[in-house]
A and B are shown apart, each in its own frame.
Chain A
């Protein structure tokens, strides 16, 4: 290698970089260590290179340019790769499938049978106060006899307060295949045309309910009516009035 060839090689040499590992440079550098002229030339070249490098680095970036790039960041940065989309779709699919499986396999929450019974009876009474009574009479004894004769719930115990109301008849109905006795009363308030009763008692065997009420009346609103439920002597009672709780409490 002569000096001219070495100069052409070392023109690209940058001290302090990975260039030193290049075998082509190593040979030229070796020669530079031996030849004073080449060594001097290399030193000057290194200085010139550094001067030009600094001038390149002095190129001024416009003020606020970085912030501008970031602020104008395209929405597509949110675009995910095809693999990520597949993964997302797969995840959603598995999650939905799992959800359906859980939904169908989970044990059903225990149904509140008492509430269902209470709602059904009271709502029916409100919709049809006459209820197509099987027996129309103001005599409670006749009502009990009629019920007994027709194998309905007849050995009930009515709250003492019901003596203040006027019985008008009874209905033998059913709920989920269980016989229900319905006795209709009037509170004495003025009734709307077509209404003959506004106070009702429902009696059903306690065995028909998995969650029968306690022995003391429990009051609750059912639509515009108020109802009280309790258990006595293996029977479930619902006493409902087309009115508020205060009115209903008069009949206990």
Chain B
């Protein structure tokens, strides 16, 4: 049974990717810590209900995402931002330019995405999950995940490209 997995070993394996996912969603260290700890707390109290050990990682990410949505509902801390339209054209990206990016810029751009795109995009980059697994974690249909990812990634790249472009103009 999954509950018999060693708690310390489980934390050692997954605390980092869970925290990074949480940080991608919240962009705040304290909130990310809370979400990650809450996820392990829930595991400690309810993890025994999971029958399949191979699903532990997915279970943890799903739980974290649920907690994030629950927290957001309670506190309304994250104002909804509309993504106006799906980009008519895919962004033109330059690997050389993108090489100048740092994590903070990526997180800032991610925060500008509509909330529904943030989690799938974060999972897309953080973990090599199959789309079916991302769909399980986010508890949405596979087709929805793919369409959200396509829009989210395109928009993120555009935001980053615009950011880099503005930065470039400012230094000129």
Judge: A and B partners, yes or no.
yes
Contacts of A47 in B (CB 8 A): 95, 98
What CA separation (Å) do A69 and B150 show in the bound complex? 35
Find the A residue at minimum CB distance from B49: A81
Q: In the complex, what's the smallest C-beta–C-beta distance from A41 to chain B, in angstroms?
A: 8
Known: A12-B149, A18-B130, A56-B126. A48 touches B48 (CB 8 A): no
Contacts of A22 in B (CB 8 A): 131
Identify the stretch in B34-42, B52-60, B61-69, B73-81 within 8 Å (CB) of chain A at 4 or more residues. Answer: B34-42
Interface contacts (Cβ under 8 Å), in number, total 115
What CA separation (Å) do A18 and B124 show in the bound complex? 13
Q: Chain A: how many interface residues by the 8 Å CB criterion?
A: 40
B122→A56 contact, CB < 8 A? yes
Identify the stretch in A60-68, A102-110, A172-180, A183-191 within 8 Å (CB) of chain B at 4 or more residues. Answer: A60-68
Identify the stretch in A71-79, A139-147, A202-210 within 8 Å (CB) of chain B at 4 or more residues. Answer: A71-79
Known: A12-B149, A51-B98, A52-B156. A81 touches B48 (CB 8 A): yes
A74→B11 contact, CB < 8 A? no
What CA separation (Å) do A59 and B110 show in the bound complex? 13
Contacts of A66 in B (CB 8 A): 11-12, 15-16
Residue A14 is within 8 A (CB to CB) of chain B in the complex: yes
Most-contacted residue by chain A among B33, B93, B157 (CB, 10 A) = B93
Q: In the complex, what's the smallest C-beta–C-beta distance from B22 to chain A, in angstroms?
A: 9
A73→B93 contact, CB < 8 A? no
A61→B19 contact, CB < 8 A? yes
B44→A59 contact, CB < 8 A? no
Q: In the complex, what's the smallest C-beta–C-beta distance from B34 to chain A, in angstroms?
A: 11
Chain B contact patch, size range: 35 or more
A70→B156 contact, CB < 8 A? no
B20→A12 contact, CB < 8 A? no
What CA separation (Å) do A207 and B128 show in the bound complex? 90
A12→B146 contact, CB < 8 A? yes
A11→B11 contact, CB < 8 A? no
Find the B residue at minimum CB distance from A75: B44
Residue B90 is within 8 A (CB to CB) of chain A in the complex: yes
Most-contacted residue by chain A among B40, B44, B126, B131 (CB, 10 A) = B44
A52→B106 contact, CB < 8 A? yes
Q: In the complex, what's the smallest C-beta–C-beta distance from A87 to chain B, in angstroms?
A: 12
Q: In the complex, what's the smallest C-beta–C-beta distance from B115 to chain A, in angstroms?
A: 17
Residue B138 is within 8 A (CB to CB) of chain A in the complex: no
A56→B7 contact, CB < 8 A? no
Contacts of B24 in A (CB 8 A): 56, 59
Known: A57-B20, A59-B24, A74-B45. A69 touches B36 (CB 8 A): yes
A81→B1 contact, CB < 8 A? yes
A–B complex contacts, Cβ < 8 Å, 30 sampled: A11-B150, A12-B124, A12-B149, A16-B128, A44-B93, A45-B93, A47-B95, A49-B125, A51-B98, A51-B99, A52-B157, A56-B103, A56-B106, A56-B126, A57-B20, A57-B126, A58-B103, A59-B19, A61-B19, A61-B20, A62-B29, A69-B15, A69-B37, A70-B7, A70-B11, A73-B44, A79-B45, A80-B48, A81-B1, A84-B48
Question: Can you name 8 extra interface pairs (CB under 8 A) apart from A8-B90, A11-B150, A81-B49?
Answer: A12-B150, A17-B128, A51-B98, A55-B102, A69-B37, A70-B8, A73-B7, A81-B3
